[in-house]
């Protein structure tokens, strides 16, 4: 299992900052002369002896080779972990993390604001495996104690929540869970490891979709689960091997390459996302901007306490829209495209009402108009503002 590797001759005092460690992690230890790791497209690994064939090193390509080891090491640095298990995508990482904590007869709690496919796994697949699940209000905090049952074994978190961007009081939930011996898991894709470190807050497992900001160019898939707990590392390892979970070497390479520039890109996404969020707050067509980095966000204080930054992904709730207004809005824009996923260099915007499956009495029943999710890419802010202006004018017919 992958304990955090440190090049033997590297002086850690020269790598005080995370962005430095992400660039220099592991390369010198491998003794190669190329900047980037080799991509070994291999199923079969050859050995000279029977002992080596059945030895502890990776004996089959599915277990990962050089580029996978480098990505694991970089993810350990990013999340402050001692072990990383790679997966083919973010959903697989989340389901691997969840399934490693529960078995038939157990109970799991997950937030009402979870990523839709994760919620689907919890409500469709886990019951088929004999695991009972219940949703909870993502703002419940220490009140989650009232939902814990005798057989509750894990609590899943996603902060901010998918589409609606509620920020959970993670330390309060972790305190309740630890007092009862319950495992905690967080989908940390929005925080990307750079702006949020759940393991430092006491969470047992942190999962990410590397597809988003770590890869950063909308051309690769990947997932990862990180932990500091040796027992959980063993359970992740065993379950991933039993389920045959792996990451393709070319995707692993693109994720490694993306991590080297993560901080530079994320700072640009953050600055542009905040600028456009503030501009949208001033627009009469917009009822609410769902960005935790804004002082107007109801969870801003928790976000300031637990996060070190934001990014380009947030939501907006529009005021009531005239008939046909949304269609005119999307048709009038040229820089913003409709498309799933996010984290790349291009700006995206999607309507979200079709995706929402929330508990009765949740905020979705009281909002004023359509919910949109926006990802701000790396284009010039002025150009994006002009594009949104054209869309909003077309929407209202002004």
| Tens digit of each residue's pLDDT (9 = 90 or more) over 154-193 | 999 999 999 999 999 999 999 999 999 999 999 999 999 9
135 part of the active site: no
Lowest mean pLDDT among 42-46, 50-54, 202-206, 361-365: 361-365
Asked if 347 and 336 count as a contact pair (C-beta separation under 8 A), the reply is yes
Residue 4 is predicted with a pLDDT of 43
The catalytically annotated residue of 112, 137, 169, 187 is 187
User: Residue 42 — pLDDT band, cuts 50, 70, 90?
Assistant: confident
Asked if 249 and 65 count as a contact pair (C-beta separation under 8 A), the reply is yes
Asked if 215 and 254 count as a contact pair (C-beta separation under 8 A), the reply is yes
- The whole-angstrom distance between residue 180's C-alpha and the CA centroid of its chain comes to 26
Residue 154 is predicted with a pLDDT of 98
d(CA 191, CA 201): 13
d(CA 382, CA 239): 48
Does the pLDDT value for residue 364 go beyond 60? no
Q: What is the pTM of this model?
A: 0.92
d(CA 298, CA 291): 10
187 part of the active site: yes
DSSP symbols for 55-105? SSS--BGGG--HHHHHHHHHHHHHHT-SEEEEESSHHHHHHHHHHTT--TT
Does the pLDDT value for residue 10 go beyond 60? no
Asked if 186 and 157 count as a contact pair (C-beta separation under 8 A), the reply is yes
Give me the numbers of helices (H) and strands (E) for the chain, helices first please: 14, 11
The catalytically annotated residue of 27, 62, 267, 328 is 62
Asked if 174 and 205 count as a contact pair (C-beta separation under 8 A), the reply is no
Q: In this structure, what token pair is assigned to residue 312?
A: 């380009």
Does the pLDDT value for residue 20 go beyond 50? yes
User: Residue 8 — pLDDT band, cuts 50, 70, 90?
Assistant: very low
- How many angstroms separate the most distant Cα atoms in the chain? 77
- Beta-ladder partners of 227: 83, 205
The catalytically annotated residue of 69, 106, 112, 115 is 115
DSSP symbols for 197-239? -GGGGT-SEEEEETTTTTT-SSS---EEEEES-HHHHHHHHHH
The catalytically annotated residue of 85, 135, 153, 212 is 212
Residue 360 is predicted with a pLDDT of 61
Does the pLDDT value for residue 7 go beyond 50? no
Model confidence pLDDT, tens digit, residues 87-131: 999 999 999 999 999 999 999 999 999 999 999 999 999 999 999
115 part of the active site: yes
Helix 381-396 to helix 325-332 angle, to the nearest 10 degrees? 150
Model confidence pLDDT, tens digit, residues 229-259: 999 999 999 999 999 999 999 999 999 999 9
User: Residue 336 — pLDDT band, cuts 50, 70, 90?
Assistant: very high
User: Residue 366 — pLDDT band, cuts 50, 70, 90?
Assistant: low
Does the pLDDT value for residue 5 go beyond 60? no
Is residue 194 helix, strand or coil?
coil
d(CA 131, CA 122): 9
60 part of the active site: no
Does the pLDDT value for residue 11 go beyond 70? no
């Amino acid at each position: 299992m992958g304990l955090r590797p440190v090049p033997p001759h590297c002086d850690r005092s020269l790598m005080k900052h995370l962005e430095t460690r992400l660039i220099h992690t592991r390369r010198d230890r491998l003794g190669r002369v190329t900047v980037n790791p080799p991509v070994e497209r291999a199923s079969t690994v050859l050995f000279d002896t029977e002992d080596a064939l059945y030895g502890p090193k990776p004996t089959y390509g599915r277990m990962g080779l050089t580029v996978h080891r480098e990505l694991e090491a970089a993810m350990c640095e990013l999340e402050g972990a001692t072990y990383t298990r790679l997966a083919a995508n973010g959903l697989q990482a989340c389901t691997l993390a969840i399934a490693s904590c529960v078995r038939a007869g157990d109970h799991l709690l997950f937030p009402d604001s979870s990523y839709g496919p994760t919620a689907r796994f919890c409500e469709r697949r886990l019951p088929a495996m004999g695991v009972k699940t219940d949703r909870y209000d993502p703002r419940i905090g220490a009140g989650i104690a009232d939902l814990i049952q005798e057989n509750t074994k894990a609590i899943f978190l996603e902060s901010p929540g998918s589409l609606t961007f509620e920020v959970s009081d993670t330390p309060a939930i972790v305190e309740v869970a630890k007092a009862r011996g319950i495992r905690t898991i967080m989908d940390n894709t929005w925080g990307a490891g750079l702006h949020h470190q759940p393991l430092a807050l006491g969470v047992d497992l942190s999962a990410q979709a590397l597809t988003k900001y770590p890869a950063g160019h909308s051309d690769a898939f990947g997932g990862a689960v990180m932990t500091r707990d040796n027992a959980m590392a063993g359970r992740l390892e065993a379950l991933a091997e039993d389920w045959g979970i792996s990451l393709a070497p070319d995707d692993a390479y693109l994720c490694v390459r993306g991590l080297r520039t993560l901080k530079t890109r994320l700072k640009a996404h953050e600055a542009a996302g905040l600028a456009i969020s503030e501009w949208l707050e001033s627009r009469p067509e917009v009822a609410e901007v769902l960005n935790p980095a804004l002082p107007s966000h109801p969870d801003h204080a928790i976000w300031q306490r637990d996060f070190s930054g934001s990014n380009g992904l947030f939501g907006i709730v529009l005021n009531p829209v005239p008939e046909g207004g949304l269609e005119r809005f999307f048709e009038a824009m040229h820089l913003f495209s409709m498309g799933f996923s996010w984290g790349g260099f291009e700006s995206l915007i999607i309507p979200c009402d079709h995706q929402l499956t929330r508990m009765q009495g949740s905020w979705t029943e009281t909002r004023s108009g359509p919910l949109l999710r926006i990802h701000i890419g790396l284009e010039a802010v002025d150009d994006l503002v002009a594009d949104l202006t054209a869309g909003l004018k077309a929407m209202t017919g002004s």
